[in-house]
Amino acid sequence: MSADRFHLGWFYSKGFGPKAWKHPWAGSAVDRFTKPDMAVDLARAMERAGFDYLMIEDSSNVPYTFQGSHDAYLRNSVDTPKLDPTVLAPFLVAATKHLGVVVTCSTTEYHPFMLARKMNALDHVSDGRIGWNVVTGSNDGGAQNYGRERQFPHDERYDMADEFLELTHRLWDAWEPDAVVLDLEAGVFADGSKVHPVDFEGKYFRCRGPLSSPRSPQGSPVICQAGGSARGRRFAAQWAETIIANAETPEQMKAYRDDVRARAADAGRNPDDIKVLFLACPIIGDTRADAEARLTADLTLTDDRIEYGLAHMSRLSGIDFSKFDLDEPLPKLKSNGHQSMVKALEGKVLRDMLKRAQRFGSDLFVGTAEDVAAVMDEVMQEVGGDGFLMVNSYFSRRYVMEICDGLVPELQKRDLTRTHYEHEHFRDNLLAF
């Protein structure tokens, strides 16, 4: 028996920035990193393969947590440089017809009105194919670019995000669907009785409203979220329509999904309205041995990779990992950044963790396209749904084609993923099964 159909997304990690740096298949992905080319190719391949969405990651500072300097980050292109993802998104929707495009924007960097307006415009120009990955910030360097010494405390960031979402939804709903009349005979462009100020007075934000533009095709962007801490999951259960999660085993995936579904039900929502996609970094080989050899290479630590991994983990956690012995278990750590990541590191030997610093999710998905499709089927049956978010931190066009034109046709053969889009809008496709 096969699992029900499941969804596919792609995590465009490292955002609108260089890909495949030092990788033999980089091609123009490095020297044309300020152009939309690579992402456009990827978006077209993903649409051909029936993906629900491409999610563009983002962060907005040149980090300096590791060794108190930005040098290692810039030398190795660790999570920097990055251009604004909301500028890339229109190129992707112009190159596709059905694919959802999710952009990452932080609730501690935008004002709710500005964010609501930008998402509304993107949803209009994309004819209803925009999503927003809601993040709250993690690294103090990011806060310093916006005039604050450090990030707000972790749980308070989510309290602020709750209020942010409440206000942006009020703004997105401020124009009734039929407010724009365009009645030349009566001389009415828009009906004022159908456009409502929001007069919002919260603890963190104030806004008069209404939004300066009419309701967009989806009304609001599809809300995507990734925080794995207890507070992060509570936020997701209330607002998210798709959750992207990191889990290594089917048991962990099932526990995560069951937990957010239960929280969503407690919050009065239908858990089926939230699609939880698990990070997967499949390695597809012509033979199983070929794929396994590539996995071994991926997990082999070189000096470059050690520095890369330490710098990356330092940025996410705000902890300078240069101060720990590579071969000793890590002590108890305190972070105001990515708490679920830091929790997973405690007590582990740093060198072992670094081997995985450029891999996400499970190592189960390694083999021929047929092998991997079969394992994905089994895992989804065990977890109960809802799909996978592909990711490969160094990815190249070759990697993307291996997934979209190698793995996905095998998934489609098994009727596990879609062969055509059911609906016009991103949200409707996400809810189609």
Ligand X SMILES: Cc1cc2nc3c(=O)[nH]c(=O)nc-3n(C[C@H](O)[C@H](O)[C@H](O)COP(=O)(O)O)c2cc1C
Separation in Å, CA 145 to CA 63, 140, 232, 270: 11, 9, 24, 39
Return the residue of 80, 218, 220, 246 that touches ligand X, per CB under 6 A. Answer: 246
Q: Supply the minimum distance, in Å, between the C-beta of residue 137 and ligand X.
A: 6
The correct pick among 151, 238, 339, 368 for binding ligand X (CB under 6 A) is 339
Report the C-alpha dihedral over residues 30, 106, 88, 312, rounded to 10 degrees.
Answer: 10
Helical segments of 247-406, H only? 250-266, 288-298, 303-317, 339-345, 350-355, 369-383, 397-401
Picking from 141, 19, 143, 21, the residue whose alpha carbon sits closest to that of residue 83 is: 19
For position 161 contacting ligand X by CB under 6 A, the verdict is no
Q: How far apart, in whole angstroms, are the C-alpha atoms of residue 250 and residue 407?
A: 20
Question: Rounded to whole angstroms, how far apart are CA atoms 202 and 397?
Answer: 46
* Size, binding site for ligand X by CB under 6 A: 21
Query: Smaller CB distance to ligand X: residue 261 or 425?
Result: 261
Q: Which is nearer to ligand X, 172 or 235 (CB)?
A: 235
Question: Residue 282 CB, nearest distance to ligand X (Å)?
Answer: 16
Q: How far is the CB of 424 from ligand X (least distance, A)?
A: 27
Fill in the DSSP letter of residue 122.
H
3-state helix, strand, coil in the chain (%, to 5): 45, 15, 40
Residue 331: how many other CB atoms lie within 10 Å: 9
CB closer to ligand X, 207 vs 281: 281
Which CB sits closer to ligand X, 314 or 368?
314
Which residues in 3-32 contact ligand X (CB under 6 A)?
A: 11
| Binding residues among 70-129 for ligand X as defined by CB under 6 A | 104
Q: Which is nearer to ligand X, 132 or 421 (CB)?
A: 132
Q: Give 203: exposed, middle or buried? Use CB within 10 Å, 0-12, 13-18, 19+.
A: exposed
Using the minimum distance from each CB to ligand X, give the nearer residue, 138 or 362.
138
Measured at CB, which residue is nearest to ligand X?
Answer: 232
- The per-residue DSSP string of 279-308 comes to EE--EE-SSHHHHHHHHHHHT---HHHHHH
CB nearer to ligand X: pick between 138 and 417: 138
Cα distances (angstroms) measured from residue 17 to each of 37, 106, 285, 394: 11, 18, 27, 11
DSSP string across 391-426: --TT--HHHHHIIIIIIHHHHHHTT-S-SS---SSH
Nearer to ligand X, 126 or 393 (CB): 393
Please list every residue from 175 through 234 that binds ligand X, using CB under 6 A.
Answer: 226-229, 232
Q: Which of 59, 96, 126, 216 binds ligand X (CB under 6 A)?
A: 59
Q: Which of residues 290-319 bind ligand X (CB under 6 A)?
A: none
Q: Looking at 55-63, 116-124, 178-186, 419-427, which segment touches ligand X (CB under 6 A)?
A: 55-63
Least separation, in Å, of the C-beta of 383 and ligand X?
16
Q: How far is CA 137 from the centre of its chain?
A: 13
Residues 126-145 that bind ligand X (CB under 6 A): 133, 135-136, 138
Q: How far is CA 131 from CA 58, 358, 391, 395, in A?
A: 14, 26, 18, 22
Minimum distance between the CB of residue 262 and ligand X, rounded to whole angstroms?
17
Say whether residue 61 binds ligand X (CB under 6 A): no
- Min dist CB 279 to ligand X, Å, is 5
Nearer to ligand X, 96 or 242 (CB): 242
As measured in angstroms, the least distance from the Cβ of 3 to ligand X is 22
**CA end-to-end span of the chain:** 17
CA distance 356 to 10: 19
Q: By CB under 6 A, tell whether 58 contacts ligand X.
A: yes
Q: Which is nearer to ligand X, 144 or 340 (CB)?
A: 340
CB of 192 to ligand X, least distance (A): 39
Site residues (vs ligand X, CB under 6 A): 11, 57-59, 104, 133, 135-136, 138, 154, 226-229, 232, 244, 246, 279, 338-340
